[in-house]
Structure 1
Amino acid sequence: MIQLSNEYIRVNIKKKGAELSSIYNKNMAHEYIWQGDPSFWPWHAPNLFPIVGGLKDNHLAVDGQIYELARHGFARHTNFQVIESSGTHAIFSLRYNQETLRVFPYHFEFQVIYHLENESLKCIYKVINLETKPIYFSVGAHPAFNVPFFSYEHYNDYYLEFEKDEPLIRHHLSDAGYFNGEESTILLDNRKLQLNENLFDTDALVFKTLLSKRVAIRSKNHPHALLISYSDFKSLGIWAKPGAPFVCIEPWLGYADSEAGTSTIEKKEGIVSLAPGHVFEAGYSITIQ
């Protein structure tokens, strides 16, 4: 476990998955990150790589070969090396190895970088192409935040406040977790989306394109809030296990397969292409307000 700390926040990060497991507000004595109660959902904030979502039949096609790769990829299950660490900064690294090559046939280095500054935690994903050819991948975040913040509150006291007052085009998932081609429109109320226990009864709210690059988790009872900013990401998933006291705000570059599946990785919707020797970076931040 790596711990970062300043006068405002204490942060814990696990070596397994380079997973954020705690953001603790020192002044309020409050924990913001879901603590992984397995009766609902055992994770905290998994990092999704080299895919986001599920593959049809768990099959990934690369250069005419089929590979077996489970939902959200292998990074969240893998121990990372800590290659740099200070009181407010840490870099976690996962390099290709024999196990990764069996399911994802590319030479790469995947870094997860955390940087604490005042009331904000920045998380940066860096992918380094170690091949002599392009590599293809998706990357995303899946942080879960405790809702409500305080014991005297209820889940439906909370709402998500988007940066812009825009109609949100939701892309629906099948029972198996693949896109089924259905869409619907969610209309915000003065930039607000009300949380309630039934909001996720039919799985995640997935917005493949949206103008808003910031979402705040707010309560009607007090001014305390969390702001999640994700300017480097095109898409957003919002999810909770129905009835569970948390909400996930998930910036994504990439998606689950459709019901029809996909033929090859380079044709997969939302895939990122990275040229030989090049470096990809995308980051998001969590700010206490």
Structure 2
Amino acid sequence: MPFLENDQLKIDIKKKGAELCSIRSVKNNTEFIWEANPNIWGSHAPNLFPIIGAMKEDSYIYNGKKYSMPKHGFVRSNDNFEVVSKTNSKATFQLKSNDQLRIIYPFEFEFLITYELKGNELLIHHKVKNKDDKTMYFSLGGHPAFACSLFEGDTYTDYFLEFEKGENSKSHLLNMATGLVTKKTKAVFDSAKTINLDGHLFNEDALIFKDLKSRQVALKHKDKGEILKVNFKGFPFLGIWAKPNAPYVCIEPWIGIADAENTNQLIKEKEGIVTLEPKKSFKATYSITLNSNLLN
């Protein structure tokens, strides 16, 4: 039985990391999320908090003390999520600070993620509550991987990404050894609006955009048309990634970014960091809309 369902979509979510692991059509059972083959990349759609990407030396400095932090933060591997509300088409998962997390992240917080089905759309709502009496600092984002093997006989190069507006943005390159953002950039658009997928596109790791004009991007097939679109209004950064030669693509809305190579490691000064005052809350939502024609 799917975790959530309406008349068009059914989705499944893992308790670990509150990770979306399936989006399927109710009528024809088409699966749109990557299968998480562990021999290639064993995740479906990790949730990222309280940082995005890698930190220099896997650590940051807060009030003069150095703290360790795994890549993309601690949410994606956390088993302590609780379902705090649920209907047939909407559910909220909650993670609270605890003694173990305070060792690496010294803030009192609640992280809530809500999955909501509306017709052919899945909305992913994030809410962060600062329960502390001091200002907290964080980033958050999504990492959904979409299958690029939906039709019999198709190939990865049949798929492309189309942005809603013409772009002149360049990808900010990572240091492959450290995962840190360099000062180098690379042009990756094949036209003003499109990036064609191929097995070598991610040979230099993720495509990272800081200044896109678009707030929506569609995954399309050259013969079948639009598969789905991701709306990331309110997320200033976007990552695009897959393992080279793997049949999926991650479209990653980010509020925050990996450390730059020349970082001073001070979390208060980290690029893209959110500053949240005591007892305040922060909200952000992105959505995935499936092409209705593929659901029948």
Range class of TM-score, shorter chain: over 0.9
Gaps of 5+ in 2: 292-296
Give per-residue Cα distances to partners, 1:62-108, cap 9 Å, x unaligned: 11111111100100111211000110000000000001100000000
Counterpart position of 1:25: 25
Does residue 84 (structure 1) correspond to residue 96 (structure 2)? The answer is: no
Displacement after TM superposition at 1:279 (Å): 0.6
- Correspondences of 1:130-279 after superposition (within 5 Å): 130-175=131-176, 176-279=178-281
Separation in 2, partners of 1:2, 1:135: 36
Q: In the alignment, what sits opposite 2:95? A: 94
**d(CA) in 2 for partners of 1:49, 1:263:** 17
Taking the aligned partners of 1:223 and 1:99, their CA distance within structure 2 comes to: 47
**CA distance, structure 1, for counterparts of residue 226 and residue 26 of structure 2:** 14
Instruction: State the SS of the aligned residue for 2:102.
Output: helix
- Counterpart AA for 1:247: V
| CA positional deviation for 1:188 | 4.3
1: CA distance between counterparts of 2:153 and 2:264? 47
- Aligned counterparts of 1:224 and 1:253: Cα–Cα separation in 2: 26
Shift of 1:165: 1.1
- Whichever residue aligns with residue 171 of structure 1, its letter is H
Matched-pair contact (CA < 8 Å) for 1:167–1:188: no
How far is the alpha carbon of 1:190 from its aligned partner?
4.9
- Please tell me whether the aligned partners of residues 6 and 119 of structure 2 are also in contact (alpha carbons under 8 angstroms): yes
Please tell me whether the aligned partners of residues 148 and 158 of structure 1 are also in contact (alpha carbons under 8 angstroms).
no
**Deviation readout 1:19-42 (Å, 9 max, x if unpaired):** 000000123321001111011100
Q: Which amino acid aligns with 2:53?
A: G
Detail structure 1 runs of 4+ shifted over 6 Å in the superposition: none
Q: Structure 1 residue 2: deviation in Å? A: 6.9
Amino acid at match of 2:258: A
The worse-fitting range, judged by mean Cα deviation, of 89-98 and 189-198 is 189-198
Distance 1:223 1:34 in 2: 19
Paired residue type of 1:173:
L
- CA–CA distance in 2 between the matches of 1:232 and 1:240? 23
Q: Percent sequence identity over matched residues?
A: 42
Distance in 1 (CA, whole Å) between partners of 2:190 and 2:136 is 38
Which residue of 2 is the match for residue 58 of structure 1? 58
Q: 1:187 to 1:241 in 2, by over 3 A?
A: closer
Q: Secondary structure at the match of 1:28?
A: coil
2:7 alignment counterpart? 7
**Shift in Å at residue 224 of structure 1?**
4.4
**Structure 2 Cα separation of the partners of residues 185 and 220 of structure 1:** 22
One-letter code aligned to 1:258: A
Note if 1:35 corresponds to 2:35: yes
| CA–CA distance in structure 2, aligned partners of residues 224 and 268 of structure 1 | 36
Aligned residue type for 2:193:
R
- Separation in structure 2 between the aligned mates of residue 198 and residue 43 of structure 1, nearest angstrom: 21
Q: TM-score, structure 2 length as denominator?
A: 0.95
- The question of whether the paired residues in 1 share the 8 Å contact of 2:56 and 2:265 is answered with no
Secondary structure of the residue aligned to 1:100 is helix
Q: Deviations over 1:8-61 (max 9, x none)?
A: 111001111010000001233210011110111000000000000011111121
What letter corresponds to residue 47 of structure 1 in structure 2? N
Instruction: Quote the residue 2:294 is aligned against.
Output: none
Contact 1:230 1:283 in 2 (8 A): yes
User: What's the CA shift for 1:185?
Assistant: 2.8
Counterpart residue type for residue 27 of structure 1? K
2:265, 2:207 → 1: CA distance? 26
What secondary structure does 1:103 align onto? coil
Q: Which amino acid aligns with 2:139?
A: S
In 1, Cα distance between equivalents of 2:188 and 2:196? 11
Which of 63-72 and 189-198 deviates more? 189-198
Q: Which amino acid aligns with 1:13?
A: I
Distance in 1 (CA, whole Å) between partners of 2:182 and 2:194 is: 27
